[in-house]
Structures are given as structure tokens and as C-alpha cells.
């Protein structure tokens, strides 16, 4: 509908007002009927113009037109009208019926949120109620009139209930919405006029009202028809059929109408006595019919109610994706077991199953594939668990299997293995096959246990994390020490957040010695955390936690600037040579941060240290986990002039391809091999190979963890150029470095090599 149609709708209404006034003014009944027929006919162009609106809007119109046709048919056939009127009445009634059927079908399909069965039931109650009242008040008296033709009475009897049914359905749809645009109000006006006209007509037919009052019927009909046309032409008409949330009238209004439709016939039947046996029979049969429909409707409502209730309970207790019981049900069952099930022979056991690297599946194959995996896992766990067990999904990729009748820890482990085995076969997804593994934590409910269901789930969860730490795809059984470890870790995590602000972090430094010249050619910065109570936490303990929680990013940036500033001061103070380097350890999380090269560049600028003096020590894990990201970051670092060392070489995958692919300039041979280099021929040949390989690639070689002169000698013989370790010096605080370096220099060309004198360690 275009904007220009708004005034058209207004003009339409004004025209309706004028025609209605004219119908009051004309004296002849025939002229009035003619005006009503013309008013009905004018609806055709309005309907034509409104045809682009949604079918539902057309349905409302079709119902009106149908009811109007019926009304006109009944009128034509009534009283002393000429015989040809009967034929027109039948044709009109049939057309009206067709419109009504089509309109009602559309209304019922789309117009309300109610199930059609209930709608039919309510409509039938309204229709029957109206029929009984209409029969007693109008139809029966009219049928007694000897002038009345059978066809007229028949149509009349049919018209009243049909019209009330249509009004009911239309009102339900139109008024059952929160927002009521002007077109809705125009429809309401048309409805009201139509109803008033109907009642007046019926009352006049029976002689309850005089001729003067009956003259109001024509203007009311005119207003009803024009109101309908104005509604159809209003720009908001199409909105009527847009999806909307049903308002309370949908239930409340319906109830009021239905109660009225039940009470009215009861009152009418009670107030009026049957006139003859036929009347009595009609009344009794109608009342029986109404009672039957009401009974059916009540039975249907009760059934629907209990179904809805069952669905609600089911929905609140199950996971919608897999159909498994949810956390609430699981906790309730554990609670029940805590009270009832344990005994000397039975130890109800919880298996916390968490998929390994499920995020990868979601990220790489999409969430639909992820959902398929979750459903398949649910089915497989159900298949592997004993019949009496409960398999629940807690959230995401977490499931719990609760076996209420487990008899021993051995049986629990056997079941855990069976659950793990359920993952051995590949999962067939629409995108192809995938292999998924899981980590399982096992916790048993003990007879003496005073723990809550939530605690038990947490215990199994803790054990599951232990299984993850142990390399995934395995089982771990909960014990109290795990809880202590978790609590300790939580305490460390919390304290670590504040360590930087509280200046609890410090750097120690370990000198790196050139084995040819015996000079201190560099230092490695090693972080220390001195907690407020004086305890010193080893980086091996807190760095992985900082890495997990992300605190490593600010801590690492601080260490970088601190180490470089320290080197600047040592060079300026003559503690070390101007070409001495500083090695700073960089964790994978820092390296995956795209901002990292900028942080390095800023630290170099702020400390005034040349990029060539900085070594960044990285481990190979990040190059294996995220090779593309690592490569691009390392290239950006290289372009700054910073050099990169591969730390702990030999402990991980340590392949030649890594050394070739990534821009690395140094290998640090791990302490594990250095320790055995003097006595273990295998370690020695391995170090020999590493050194030869590094040399051929033009890489600088540093041996870590040198603790004996013998080791140092062998390393020197094998061609390793640099070394660090307790033999040379322990990591020392910054203020102890001057004396450490001086002591090392006093030993000249490292006489320890020749004499066995060990350098000044701490
Ligand atoms: P790393 O980088 O391999 O550091 C060498 C570790 O070996 C240091 O342990 C050092 O004290 C120890 N060490 C040196 N010489 C010897 C020796 O002769 N014998 C023995 N047994 N050990 C020796 P530390 O200081 O406990 O550091 C452990 C790890 O923590 C470091 O291994 C490094 O991976 C990490 N780390 C330390 N500081 C930082 C830091 O500032 N940032 C990051 N991301 N990691 C750091
Ligand atoms: Mg290192
Ligand atoms: Mg190392």
C-alpha cells in the first residue's frame, strides 16, 4: 500500500458517513435496502486495491464479505419478499459460505498461535451457544409465523451462529495483538456496527422493537461495509497479518467470550419455556450438542496442559542437543546416591569425560560438525556405560558418566578404559571422518564422604585435568593431593596477578662464557619471584601458570625492559664488555602476540641497547603449534636486528627442518645432554651431531647446565663455542655481577679447564 492511500481511506470513511446519513433520511424501505446493497458492492474495488496485502488480511475481508452475503441472503428470503428472492438468497448464501470457509481456513492456519483443534472447539462452542440463544429468541418465534418461508428460516438459523463464529475468530486475531494500528480500529468499528445491525434486525423480525429503531439497521450496515473498505485501504492493513506475539486477550478474551457463549444460552433456556414439542426437542438436542463440545474441549485442554507440562519438565532436565540429562539431574542423582546407595560392596563412581582439543574441531570444521561430534560422543558413551549408569552432559564438551553400582577401583578403571575405547573408531561426520579423543577423571563416592554432589563433580573434574596434563587421551583417578595441588595453583595464580605491581619479581643473571677466549660474552636473564613472605618461587613453577593465565605478557614485557636496562648499566659501568649480549626468555604466548615485535622495539629504544646485543630465547613448541604465526613474528624480529636462540634444543621434536625453516641464529644444547656428555657415549655422540649440524648451518652454539670441568672440556673438544652453568656461575642478582665477572676474568683463559679449579659459583 502506498502513502497516497492514507487520505483515500479517510475519504472512504467520510463517504460512508454521508451514505449512512442518507440511508436514515430516505423514507422508503426499498431505497434503504438498495443503499445497503450498493454499500456492500463498493467493497469490491476496496478488496481489489488491498489484494497485495498478506493473504491473512484478505482472510479477514473474506470472512466479513461471507458474513455480509449470508446476512443479505437471510434478509432477502425473509418476510413477504417476492419468490425470486429465495433463489438470490440461496446463491448469496452459497457465495457467503464459500468466502467464509476460505477466510476461516486462512485465519485458523496463520492468524493465531493456538493449535487449530482448540480453535475449532472454541469456535464451535461460540456457534452452538449463539444458535441456542438465537433459536429461543428469534428463530423459533419467526418459524411460528405462517408467512415465513422455510428457506428463510433455514438461512436465518444458519446465519446467526456462523456470523458469531466469524466475529469471534476475527476478534481473537485482531484484538489479540499488542500494537493496534488504525486499520485494526477500523475493523473493530466495522465489527461493532455489523453486530449491532444483526441484533436489531433479529429483534425487529420478531417484533421486539418498533419500526423506528429498525431504521438504524441500514446506516449500521453501511458503516460496517465502508469501515471495512476504509480498513482495507489503510496503509497499516498489511500489518494485521504480520507475525506478532499474542497478547493476553488471546487467552483472557477468549475465556470471556466462551463463558458468555455458555452462560447466554443457559440464561435464555431458563428464562423462556419451550413453545411446542419441536421447540423442546431442538432445545434439548442443542443443549446436548453444546455439552458434548464443551466436554471434548475441556478434555483436549487438560491433555494439552499435561503434555505441555511434561515437555516443560523434560526441557528443564535435558540437554537439547544430545537429549542427555543435564547438570541439575546429575546432581540430583548423585545426591540420592549419597543418601542411599553406597555400602561396603558398592562405590558409586563419577567419570568426568572431556574431549581433547574440541575447540579445534569447532574452529576448523564449524559448529555443525562440532554438534555432530557431541551427539555421537553422547551415543557412544551411552553404549559403553552400564545400563544402570547415568550419562549426562554438563556443558560444551564435558560429559559425566555416573555408575551407581561400581564395586572397586579396578572396576572403575576398567569402565574408564571402556569409555576411552568408545573413542577409538573415527567419527563419521557429513564433512568426513574425524578422530576424537577424551581425557577422563574418576572420582568415587566414599561411604564416609561428607562432600556435596558439586564437590564430587569438581573432584572428577580435577582428576580430568590431571589426565590432560599427563598428555590427554588417558584416565586419572582423583586423590586428596590433587585437591591440594589445585588449591595451591589457584593461590599462585591469584598472587601472581599482583606480583608485578608489588615489585615481587626480580631478575637474576647467569653469565655465558666463550670457551675459546674465556671471556664473559653475555648473560641470560632468569626471573625470580620473591613472595611477600620471603619464599622464592622457581620460574619452572610460576612461568607455566603465567603462560596459562596470560599474565606472562605483561610480566615478559617487564623482564625484557629490565634486562636490557641492566645490560646498559653494566656496559656503562664497565662491568662487562660493550659487546656483551643479554638473553631473554620468551614464552610461546608472547611470541603469538602480534604486538610482541613492537614491545621488543620499544624496550630497545627505551634502554638504549643496540638490537645486536639482544638474544631472544624461544622454545620449539610454538613453531610446531603455530608455525605460520611463529615464522612471521620471528621474521619481524629479525628485521629489527634482534637475534633468536632455540632454547632447550634436543628435548622436543628438534628436527633439522625447524632450523632450516625458521630464522634462528643460535642453538642452546639442553642440560639433559650436557650432563651426560662426559660419561655417556650416546649423549656425547648426540652432542657431536648437534654441534656439527649447527656449525654447518652457521649457528652459534651454547651448552646449558655445565656443572663439571670434564663436561666443559668435552664440549670444548666437540667444538661447542659457548657455555653456561653452575660450574661457571649460578644465576646471581644484578649487584653481584661485577664481582662474578671480575672473578671469572681473574681466572684468565679459564684455568679450570687445565687445572680443575672451579669458577666462583654461588
Ligand atoms: P632456561 O631458559 O633453559 O634456563 C636455564 C635454567 O637452567 C635456569 O633455571 C637456570 O637456573 C638453570 N641452570 C643454569 N645452569 C645450571 C646448571 O649448571 N645446572 C642446573 N641443574 N641448572 C642450571 P631457572 O632459572 O629455574 O629457569 C627455568 C626456566 O624458566 C628457564 O629455562 C626458562 O625456560 C624459564 N624462565 C626463566 N626466566 C624466564 C623469563 O623471564 N621469561 C620466560 N618466558 N621464561 C623464563
Ligand atoms: Mg633460556
Ligand atoms: Mg634452557
Query: What nine digits make up the cell of 187?
Result: 475493523
DSSP 8-state symbol, 326: -
The predicted structure's pLDDT at residue 564? 98
Ligand 1: distance of its center to the CA of 510 in Å? 9
487's grid cell: 588449591
User: Both 255 and 140 in a single domain?
Assistant: yes
Q: Which of 200-203's residues contact partners 24+ apart within 8 Å by CB, and which partners?
A: 201/71, 201/75, 202/134, 202/137, 202/138, 202/160, 203/138
- Position 306 scores a pLDDT of 92
Q: How confident is the model at residue 189 (pLDDT cuts 50, 70, 90)?
A: confident
Least confident of 488-497, 635-644, 690-699, 752-761: 752-761
Measured in Å, residue 90 CA sits from the centre of ligand 2 at 101
Is the pLDDT at 622 greater than 90? The verdict is: no
pLDDT of residue 579: 97
| Three-class HEC string of 209-245 | CCHHHHCCHHHHHHHHHHHHHHHHHCHHHHHHHCCCC
Q: Does 536 share its domain with 407?
A: no
Say how far apart CA 244 and CA 566 lie, in whole Å: 70
723 and 515 Cβ atoms separated by less than 8 Å: yes
Largest CA distance in the chain: 144
> For 617-623, what is the mean pLDDT?
87
Q: According to the model, what pLDDT value does residue 174 have? A: 63
pLDDT given for residue 761 in this prediction = 41
In a domain, 694, yes or no: yes
Q: Which of 526, 538, 558, 649 for a ligand 1 pocket mutation test, highest count of atoms within 8 Å of Cβ?
A: 526
> What is the CA(665)–ligand 3 centre distance, in A?
15
Least confident window among 166-175, 361-370, 506-515, 703-712: 166-175
- Residue 528 CA to ligand 2 centre (angstroms): 13
58 lines ligand 1 (CB under 6 A): no
Element housing 394 (H / E): strand 390-395
In order of 483, 513, 709, 712, 739, the CA distances from 749 in angstroms are 53, 11, 14, 13, 17
In the prediction, which pLDDT does 685 show? 93
* pLDDT score for 660: 86
The reported pLDDT for the residue numbered 52 is 65
User: Which of the four pLDDT bands, split at 50, 70 and 90, describes residue 707?
Assistant: very high
731 CA → ligand 1 middle, Å: 9
Mean pLDDT to the nearest integer, 117-127 = 82
Ligand 1 pocket check for 389: Cβ under 6 Å: no
Q: How many CB atoms lie within 10 A of CB 517?
A: 11
Q: What is the pLDDT of residue 247?
A: 46
Q: Specify the residue for cell string 555416573.
A: 402
pLDDT confidence of residue 757: 40
pLDDT of residue 736: 97
Q: Are residues 395 and 253 in the same domain?
A: no
Is this structure's pTM higher than 0.75? no
Same domain, 267 and 369: no
pLDDT computed for residue 720 by the predictor: 95
595 and 512 within one domain: yes
Summarize the confidence of residues 641-667 as an average pLDDT.
87
Nearest CA to ligand 1 atom 21: 705
Atom of ligand 1 nearest to the CA of 526: 38
* Among the ranges given (351-360, 445-454, 635-644), the one the predictor scored with the smallest mean pLDDT: 445-454
Question: Residue 762 above 50 pLDDT?
Answer: no
Ligand 1 binding pocket includes 526 (Cβ within 6 Å): yes
Question: Of 304, 337, 366, which closes a domain?
Answer: 304
Considering Cα of 39, then 43, then 45, then 49, what sign does the dihedral take? positive
170 lines ligand 1 (CB under 6 A): no
- Measured CA to CA, the distance from residue 259 to residue 455 in angstroms comes to 54
C-beta atoms surrounding 124 within 10 Å: 20
Q: Tell me the per-residue pLDDT of 410-461, one tens digit each, with 9 for 90 and over.
A: 999 999 999 999 999 999 988 888 899 999 999 988 766 667 889 899 999 9
> Taking the CB of residue 203, how many other CB atoms lie within 10 A of it?
17
Output the residue whose Cα is nearest ligand 1's atom 28: 540
Q: Are residues 461 and 534 in the same domain?
A: no
Any domain includes 82: yes
CB of 725 within 6 A of ligand 1: the answer is yes
Residues 224, 256, single domain; the answer is: yes
Residues 539 and 670 in one domain: yes
Q: Ligand 1 in contact with 13 (CB < 6 A)?
A: no
Phi, psi dihedral angles at 198 (to 5 degrees) = -60, -50
For the four alpha carbons of 8, 9, 10 and 16, in that order, the dihedral sign comes to: positive
* Tens of pLDDT, residues 134-172: 888 877 877 776 665 666 666 667 777 777 777 777 666
Residue pair 751/743 in contact (Cβ under 8 Å)? The answer is no
In a domain, 758, yes or no: no
- How confident is residue 625, by pLDDT bands cut at 50, 70 and 90? confident
**CA-proximal residue: ligand 1, atom 46 (nearest):** 585
HEC assignment per residue over 532-601: CCCCEECHHHHHHHHHHHCCHHHHHHHHHHHHHHHHHHHHHHCCCCCCCEEEEECCHHHHCCCCHHHHHH
- Indicate the average pLDDT of the chain: 84
575 CA from centroid of ligand 2 (Å): 22
Residues 112 and 240 in one domain: yes
List the single range of 50-59, 324-333, 503-512, 723-732 with lowest mean pLDDT. 50-59
Percent of the chain residues past pLDDT 70, beyond the cut:
83
Residues, CB-to-ion distance under 5 Å, ligand 3: 647-648, 704
108: in domain? yes
Domain shared by 296 and 337, yes or no: no
Q: Which ligand is nearest to the CA of 510?
A: 1
Q: What is the mean pLDDT of residues 626-646?
A: 93
CATH number at residue 345: 3.30.70.270
Pocket lining: 707 vs ligand 1, CB cutoff 6 Å: yes
Name the residue at shortest CA distance from atom 41 of ligand 1: 527
* CATH assignment at residue 589: 3.20.20.450
Q: Under a CB-based contact definition with an 8 Å cutoff, are residues 324 and 318 in contact?
A: yes
Q: How confident is the model at residue 468 (pLDDT cuts 50, 70, 90)?
A: very high
pLDDT band at 4 (very low <50, low <70, confident <90, very high): very low
Q: Does residue 265 have its Cβ closer than 6 Å to ligand 1?
A: no
Residues β-bridged to residue 530: 536
Q: Are residues 299 and 382 in the same domain?
A: no
CB 100 within 8 A of CB 161: no
DSSP string, 112-160: -SS-HHHHHHHHHHHHHHHHHHHIIIIIHHHHHSTT--HHHHHHHHHHH
Q: How far is the CA of 524 from the centre of ligand 2 (A)?
A: 7
Host domain of residue 728: 503-747
φ and ψ at 127, to 5 degrees? -65, -45
Q: Considering its fold, how many domains does the chain have in total?
A: 3
User: Which residue from 525, 585, 761 has its CB within 8 A of the most atoms of ligand 1, so it is best to mutate?
Assistant: 585
Q: What is the pLDDT of residue 676?
A: 92
Give the closest residue (by CA) to ligand 1 atom 16: 705
Q: Using one digit for the tens of pLDDT, what is the confidence trace for 372-385?
A: 999 999 999 999 99
Counting beta carbons within 10 angstroms of the beta carbon of residue 275, is it exposed (0 to 12), middle (13 to 18) or buried (19 or more)? Answer: middle
pLDDT tens for residues 198-250? 778 777 766 777 777 777 888 888 888 888 888 888 877 777 656 555 544 45
* 704 Cα–ligand 1 center, Å: 9
Determine the Cα–Cα distance for residues 18 and 37; give it in Å rounded to an integer.
16
Q: What is residue 184's predicted lDDT score, i.e. its pLDDT?
A: 78
| pLDDT interval class at 657 (50, 70, 90) | confident
Per-residue pLDDT at 141: 79
Region of 596 on the Ramachandran plot (φ > 0 left; ψ -120 to 50 alpha; else beta): alpha
Assigned domain for 493 exists:
no
For residue 583, list its beta bridge partners.
Answer: 524, 615
User: Taking a C-beta distance cutoff of 8 angstroms, is the pair 376, 427 a contact?
Assistant: yes
Taking the centre of ligand 1 as the mean of its atom positions, its distance from the CA of residue 526, in whole angstroms, is 6
Cα of first residue to Cα of last residue in the chain, in angstroms, is 91
Residue 614: its H or E element: strand 614-618
Task: Check pLDDT > 70 for residue 259.
Answer: yes
Q: Has residue 434 been placed in a domain?
A: yes
The mean per-residue pLDDT over the stretch 539-566 comes to 93
pLDDT higher than threshold 50 for residue 748: yes
pLDDT at 372: 94
Per-residue pLDDT reduced to its tens digit, 11-46: 888 888 998 888 888 877 778 878 887 887 777 777
pLDDT in tens, 336-347: 888 776 566 788
d(CA 456, CA 445): 7
Which protein residue has the closest C-alpha to ligand 1 atom 7? 705
Q: Ligand 1: which residue has its CA nearest to atom 34?
A: 585
Whether residue 125 is predicted with pLDDT greater than 80 in this model: the reply is yes
Which atom of ligand 1 is least distant from the CA of 508? 25
Any domain includes 490: no
- Do 655 and 591 have their domain in common? yes
539, 562, 734: which to mutate for ligand 1, most atoms within 8 A of CB? 539
Nearest-angstrom CA–CA distance, 712 and 703: 9
Percent of the chain at pLDDT > 90 equals: 42
Do the Cβ atoms of 724 and 750 come closer than 8 Å? no
**pLDDT for position 194:** 79
Amino acid at each position: 500500500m502506498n502513502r497516497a492511500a492514507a487520505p483515500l481511506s479517510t475519504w472512504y470513511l467520510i463517504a460512508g458517513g454521508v451514505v449512512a446519513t442518507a440511508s436514515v433520511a430516505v423514507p422508503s424501505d426499498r431505497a434503504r435496502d438498495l443503499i445497503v446493497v450498493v454499500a456492500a458492492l463498493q467493497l469490491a474495488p476496496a478488496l481489489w486495491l488491498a489484494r497485495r496485502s498478506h493473504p491473512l488480511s484478505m482472510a479477514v475481508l473474506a470472512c466479513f464479505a461471507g458474513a455480509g452475503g449470508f446476512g443479505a441472503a437471510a434478509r432477502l428470503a425473509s418476510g413477504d419478499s417476492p419468490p425470486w428472492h429465495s433463489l438470490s438468497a440461496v446463491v448469496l448464501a452459497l457465495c457467503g459460505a464459500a468466502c467464509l470457509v476460505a477466510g476461516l481456513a486462512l485465519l485458523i492456519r496463520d492468524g493465531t498461535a493456538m493449535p487449530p483443534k482448540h480453535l475449532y472447539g472454541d469456535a464451535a462452542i461460540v456457534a452452538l451457544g449463539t444458535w441456542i440463544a438465537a433459536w429461543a429468541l428469534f428463530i423459533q418465534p419467526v418459524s411460528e409465523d405462517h408467512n415465513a418461508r422455510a428457506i428463510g428460516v433455514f438461512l436465518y438459523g444458519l446465519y446467526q451462529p456462523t456470523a458469531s463464529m466469524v466475529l469471534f475468530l476475527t476478534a481473537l486475531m485482531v484484538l489479540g495483538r499488542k500494537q493496534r494500528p488504525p486499520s485494526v480500529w477500523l475493523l473493530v468499528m466495522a465489527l461493532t456496527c455489523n453486530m449491532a445491525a444483526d441484533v436489531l434486525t433479529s429483534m425487529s423480525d420478531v417484533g421486539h422493537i418498533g419500526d423506528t429503531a429498525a431504521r438504524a439497521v441500514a446506516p449500521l450496515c453501511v458503516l460496517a461495509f465502508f469501515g471495512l473498505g476504509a480498513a482495507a485501504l489503510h496503509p497499516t492493513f498489511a500489518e494485521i497479518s504480520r507475525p506478532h506475539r499474542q497478547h493476553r486477550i488471546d487467552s483472557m478474551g477468549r475465556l470471556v467470550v466462551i463463558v458468555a457463549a455458555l452462560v447466554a444460552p443457559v440464561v435464555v433456556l431458563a428464562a423462556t419455556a419451550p413453545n411446542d414439542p419441536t421447540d423442546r426437542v431442538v432445545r434439548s438436542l442443542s443443549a446436548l450438542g453444546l455439552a458434548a463440545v464443551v466436554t471434548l474441549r475441556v478434555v483436549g485442554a487438560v491433555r494439552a496442559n499435561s503434555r505441555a507440562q511434561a515437555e516443560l519438565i523434560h526441557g528443564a532436565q535435558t540437554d537439547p542437543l544430545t537429549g542427555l540429562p543435564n547438570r541439575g539431574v546429575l546432581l540430583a542423582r548423585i545426591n540420592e546416591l549419597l543418601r542411599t546407595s553406597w555400602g561396603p560392596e558398592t562405590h558409586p563412581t563419577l567419570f568426568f569425560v572431556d574431549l581433547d582439543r574440541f575447540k579445534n574441531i569447532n574452529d576448523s570444521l564449524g559448529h555443525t560438525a562440532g554438534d555432530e561430534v557431541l551427539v555421537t560422543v553422547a551415543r557412544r558413551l551411552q553404549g559403553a556405560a552400564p545400563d544402570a549408569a547415568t550419562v549426562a552432559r554438563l556443558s560444551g564438551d564435558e560429559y559425566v558418566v555416573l555408575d551407581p553400582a561400581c564395586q572397586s577401583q579396578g572396576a572403575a578403571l576398567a569402565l574408564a578404559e571402556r569409555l576411552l575405547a568408545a573413542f577409538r573408531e573415527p567419527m563419521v561426520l557429513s564433512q568426513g571422518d574425524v578422530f576424537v579423543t577424551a581425557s577422563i577423571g574418576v572420582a568415587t563416592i566414599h561411604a564416609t564422604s561428607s562432600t556435596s554432589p558439586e564437590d564430587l563433580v569438581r573432584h572428577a573434574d580435577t582428576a580430568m585435568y590431571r589426565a590432560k596434563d599427563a598428555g590427554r587421551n588417558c584416565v586419572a583417578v582423583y586423590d586428596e593431593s590433587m585437591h591440594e595441588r589445585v588449591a595451591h595453583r589457584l593461590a599462585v595464580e591469584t598472587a601472581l596477578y599482583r606480583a608485578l605491581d608489588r615489585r615481587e619479581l626480580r631478575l637474576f643473571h647467569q653469565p655465558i662464557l666463550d670457551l675459546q677466549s674465556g671471556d664473559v660474552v653475555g648473560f641470560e636473564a632468569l626471573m625470580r619471584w620473591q613472595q611477600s613472605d620471603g619464599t622464592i618461587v622457581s620460574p619452572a613453577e610460576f612461568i607455566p601458570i603465567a603462560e596459562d593465565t596470560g599474565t606472562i605478557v605483561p610480566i615478559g614485557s617487564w623482564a625484557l625492559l629490565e634486562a636490557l636496562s641492566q645490560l646498559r648499566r653494566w656496559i656503562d659501568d664497565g662491568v662487562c664488555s660493550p659487546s656483551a649480549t643479554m638473553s631473554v626468555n620468551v614464552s610461546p604466548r608472547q611470541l603469538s602476540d602480534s604486538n610482541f615485535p613492537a614491545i621488543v622495539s620499544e624496550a630497545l629504544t627505551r634502554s638504549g641497547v643496540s638490537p645486536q646485543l639482544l638474544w631472544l630465547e624461544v622454545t620449539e613448541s610454538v613453531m610446531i603449534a603455530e608455525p605460520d604465526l611463529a615464522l612471521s613474528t620471528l621474521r619481524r624480529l629479525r628485521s629489527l636486528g634482534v637475534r633468536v636462540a632455540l632454547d632447550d634444543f634436543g628435548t622436543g621434536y628438534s628436527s633439522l627442518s625447524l632450523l632450516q625453516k625458521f630464522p634462528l641464529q643460535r642453538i642452546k644444547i639442553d642440560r639433559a645432554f650436557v650432563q651426560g656428555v662426559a660419561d655417556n657415549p650416546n649423549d656425547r655422540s648426540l652432542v657431536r651431531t648437534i654441534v656439527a649440524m649447527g656449525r654447518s648451518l652457521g649457528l652459534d652454539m651454547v651448552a646449558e647446565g655445565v656443572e663439571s670441568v670434564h663436561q666443559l672440556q668435552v664440549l670444548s673438544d666437540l667444538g661447542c663455542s659457548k657455555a653456561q652453568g653452575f660450574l661457571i656461575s649460578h644465576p646471581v642478582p644484578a649487584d653481584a655481577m661485577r664481582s662474578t665477572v671480575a672473578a671469572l676474568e681473574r681466572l684468565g683463559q679459564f684455568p679450570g679447564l687445565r687445572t680443575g679449579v672451579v669458577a666462583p659459583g654461588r
